[in-house]
Amino acid sequence: KAGVTQTPRYLIKTRGQQVTLSCSPISGHRSVSWYQQTPGQGLQFLFEYFSETQRNKGNFPGRFSGRQFSNSRSEMNVSTLELGDSALYLCASSPDRGREKLFFGSGTQLSVL
């Protein structure tokens, strides 16, 4: 079974641009969560999607948005990029909502210059 796949692996953008990150969960997993990881800040929860519906949202500005498609693939978008958005963005999937065992992808390393 293939693991969680995130694309692209690395991304360099400039301030003011927007970016879209993609996540393909493990086949059969319907829940997808997104996290932002920066040194010293640990993993900060962004959103959780289940069956195309956003079930939870973290404390991030409206510039951060996401969606989930009918095949459970998910995308997150960050508009008007700021230097502070530089981080590793991790996607995780699980079979059902509320399950504790998350399967993480290797993440997208975003650098904003």
Partner 1 sequence: GQSLEQPSEVTAVEGAIVQINCTYQTSGFYGLSWYQQHDGGAPTFLSYNGLDGLEETGRFSSFLSRSDSYGYLLLQELQMKDSASYFCAVRDDNQGGKLIFGQGTELSVKP
Nearest approach in angstroms of CB 100 to partner 1 is 4
Among 41, 62, 70, 84, binds partner 1 (CB under 8 A): 41
Residue 60 touching partner 1 (CB under 8 A)? no
Q: Could you give the CA distance from residue 60 to residue 74 in angstroms, rounded to a whole number?
A: 18
- Of 99, 112, 113, 110, nearest in space to 36 by CA: 110
Residue 104 touching partner 1 (CB under 8 A)? yes
Residue 56 touching partner 1 (CB under 8 A)? yes
Handedness of CA 112, 32, 28, 50 (dihedral sign): negative
Nearest approach in angstroms of CB 16 to partner 1 is 28
Q: Could you give the CA distance from residue 11 to residue 37 in angstroms, rounded to a whole number?
A: 15
Nearest approach in angstroms of CB 80 to partner 1 is 25
> Which value, to the nearest 10 degrees, does the dihedral of the CA atoms of residues 5, 92, 74, 48 take?
180
Q: Give contact residues for partner 1 (rule: CB under 8 A).
A: 4, 33, 35, 40-45, 48, 55-56, 58, 90, 92, 97-98, 100-107
